[in-house]
Each structure stands twice: as structure tokens, then as C-alpha cells.
Amino acid sequence: MVADTMKIRRAGLEALFPGEDDGAAAVPLWTLSGDRTPEVLPDLTPTQRAWLDATGWKPEAGAVALLPDADGALAGAVLGLGNAGGDPLLAGALARALPAGRYRFAGDLDDPELAAVAWALGAYEFSRYKSGEPRAPRALVLPDGVDRAAVLRIAEGVALGRDLINTPANDLGPAELEAAARDLAEAHGAAVAVTEGEALLAESFPMIHAVGRASDRPPRLIDIAWGEAGAPKLTLVGKGICFDTGGLNLKPAQAMSLMKKDMGGAAAVLALALMIMDGRLPVRLRVLIPAADNNVSANAFRPGDVLASRKGIAVEIGNTDAEGRLVLADALALADEEAPETLVTMATLTGAARVALGPDLPPLYVDDDALAGEIQAAGDRVGDPVWRMPFWAPYDKLLKARTGDVNHISSGPFAGSVTAALFLKRFVGAAARYVHLDIYGWVPQAKPGRPEGGEPQAARALYELFRSTYTA
């Protein structure tokens, strides 16, 4: 079933970008910045300019105007870019606004590949549970010089991440997340190992087991390995909590309603892994996903419990609704044992991150100033922004425990995202560089290239960095 979904997803994306085509039969598309007027577009007819004037259209960011020919048929369209330095994904608005057909960009683009990626991201729909025929494709003849395979791998990675996050928890538990990971690995010749249920205790992953043991869907650690043994080690760890009730510290109904997305970190690392493997980057890639449900049952872990961890740190539980950092800690300890060059965690970890930076801007934690700048610049280039936050050492005292070595949440209401990052950092020591991203994993209000729903935030930003860092 999952393998079939992969084929359908790929076929749908390929339909957006037809093969070799001179574009002669395609409808032209123009872009217009906010400080220009339609008169700078020489291919527009006087009638079309009059149409724009009569309709009061302005080249605001993401605004699309459809242009008729003399017979009333569609002759072209104009996309408003707004002011300079705007959203790099504005071309995604076209894929939603245009009728079915074949299109081409007329004139020069600042970044033709990114425009094509934005087109694909804007065309995305999650229609698994909807009846009726799927939306007919809006096909784009790729601009000259754009690598179709490069566009497709980024679009496919994002679509995979979105599909996983958007799937409700009744159809996406730990076993289904494992199946998706296995199919991705098989498609790219990667190896997979899974530690499940009681075996987590035998293999020294006690916190993953503790978080997931209250569910009738056994927890597990998914471990994917790909690439040459001697290549630079790049390890991705993604939080895979398939549904989070909050455990015994039960969430209120409003906070629980969107908790199918609490595996957004796992979706993001799988999206990034697809891009890396399909792009054949010369790295030794490892992907670790601790997958579990955080449920309520007689054997659920409790506030005040002290849990053993793989690293040997005794963790005191302050609140069972902060379970993500527990499963990540065991996976991080495993990842750190082989001292990767770069170790990345991606997780829908804290509400405090949303309070600080909102849903669109994930906090980035990294001690390496140069690397932080490179990640932030890469995200800005491709419209997948992040914002650096500090591993602020003085706040480590907020994790002081009464009984164990460390409490996994802070003792007060302040700096929740920072203290979560500091907790995770305790489980990393050998990795040369550690990067943590506290993502939201969801778009609450649609924007160009970002439909409402699941979003594997920071996956494109990291791929943009890694494909320039690691070259064959």
C-alpha cells in the first residue's frame, strides 16, 4: 500500500513537468514586481493592459491576473511579486490560481529552479480521503537549464513529508511509519533495522519504551543506513510520536486535536533523506526515528518517575506531555556513539517555540556560528526559513532534578524551547557538530507554495546546504 502511494505520488509530480517541449503551445506567464506597471511587459496587447486596468489588479505579492485573448480564451497570466525581497515561493500561487493546462514562464526569472519547485509545492493536495476525481494537473514547461530530476526530488521529498503529517493517526501509527521508512529505504538501496516493543529494553532504549508502552501499538526505533562507509557521517534524528495525548498529564481537547502532526520531525527527516539519497550526495547517511504513541493506560509512565536512559543519565519526569525529548534522547545517544560529522534533530518539540517565533519560523540551535549562518542563508534562499536561538548555558540550572540526575522540563514558565534544546544537548558529546530544529510541522493558513496542512519545515533548507557542502 505504501509502495503504491509512492508510485502515485511520483507520477503526479511528473505530470506537472512534461518532458522535452519547446513551449510553443504553452500559455505564457509573466511576473511583475510591485514597483512596475504592466507597460513593462512588451508581449501584452493593449486589450490585456486595459483589462488589468479595468479590473484594478495590482502586482501585490502572490496576486494572479488571468488575461483573455480576443475570443475570451486564456491567453496568459501575470503573477505579482510585490516589493523586493519578498517570498521566494510566490510562483506556487500560480499552480492554485490557473485552470488546467500547460504553461511556460515568459521572460527571465531570478531562480528558475526554485520557481519550478514552488510550482510543484503549490500544486500539492492531500486527497486520500476525498471522493471524486483528482484535480487535473497544471503542467509547466521547465525553463531552460533547469534540471527536471533536481526539481522532482525536492518536490517528492516535501510531498512525502506532507503526506505523512496529514495522514490521521488511525492510519499512521508506529508500524505504518516504519512501513513508509522501509519503502523509502528500499527504493534507494538503503538498509533498515528496527527495534520494537520489549526488545527496546533489551537493546538499551528504556525511554523510548517508557513513552510508548501504554499504547497497543508497540513503540520502535527505526534505523536507516545509506551510503559508502568511508564518506562523511551525516545523521538525522526525527521525533516520531504518531499521536500525543499528553499521557497522564492529559492535553485539553483543543491542544490534542492536531496531535497527528507530532511525528512531523520524523516526516521532515524522511523528506530530507529522500532528497539526499535521490541526489546521491556523497555522505554516509543514517536516519533514526523513535516512533511511539504517548497514550494513557494503567502502565503509562507518570510524573515524578525517574527513567533510565541509554546514556546512563537518570531522567526525572516533570510532565508526561514532554515526551518527545525523551524518545529523542535515547536515539541521540545511539547516534552519538559513532561520532558523526553532523548530527541533526528535527522535532515538533515545544509550544514555547511557537510563542517565540510563530508557526512559520522554526528555532535553530547550533553552537557553530559559521554553520548557523549557512543554514539560515540556505533557508532564506529557498523560502524555508529558520531563526537561530541560543544553547543558553545559564538556563541549564532550570532542569535541576530533586531525585534524578536531570529533570526533562524546566522548573518554571520561561525559555521552554531553550531548555528543551539544552536537555537534548546533554546526550551529545562525540558528534563534531550538533544541530537542533524545533519545528511546528504545520501551515495553519495557506500561502503561495504552502497549502494549509502538514509541512516538513527545514528539510529544504538543510538539503540546500548539504547539496552544496557535499559534492561528488
**CATH architecture classification, 152-469:** 3-Layer(aba) Sandwich (3.40)
What pLDDT shows up at residue 380? Answer: 97
DSSP-derived letter for residue 450 is: B
Q: Look at residues 12, 4, 7 and name the one whose alpha carbon lies nearest to residue 124.
A: 12
130 as an active site residue: the answer is: no
Distance CA 116, CA 118 (A): 5
3-class secondary-structure state, position 204: coil
User: What cell was used for 68?
Assistant: 483573455
Give tens-digit pLDDT for 373-400: 999 999 999 999 999 999 999 999 999 9
pLDDT given for residue 34 in this prediction: 86
**Is 128 considered catalytic here?**
no
Task: Give me the sign of the Cα torsion angle 344, 350, 351, 353.
Answer: negative
Q: Which helix (H) or strand (E) element contains residue 387?
A: strand 387-389
Query: H/E element holding 240?
Result: strand 240-244
Measured distance CA(408)–CA(5) in Å, rounded: 38
**Low-confidence stretches of the chain (pLDDT beneath 70):** 1-3, 20-24, 84-85, 472
Q: Find cell 501499538 and name the residue.
A: 217
Q: Out of 102, 182, 251, 433, pick the active-site residue.
A: 251
Q: Catalytic residue among 138, 233, 261, 325, which?
A: 325
Element (H, E) at 117: helix 112-123
pTM: 0.97
Q: Report the CATH architecture of 2-139.
A: 3-Layer(aba) Sandwich (3.40)
Spans of all domains in the chain: 2-139, 152-469
The dihedral of CA 215, 442, 322, 432: what is its sign?
positive
Query: In this structure, is the dihedral angle defined by the CA atoms of residues 207, 210, 215 and 221, taken in order, positive or negative?
Result: positive
Residues near 463 by beta carbon (within 8 Å), at least 6 away in sequence: 154, 157, 272, 275, 276, 279
Helix/strand/coil (H, E, C) string of 396-432?
HHHHCCCCCCEECCCCCCCCHHHHHHHHHHCCCCCCC
- Mean pLDDT taken over the chain: 95
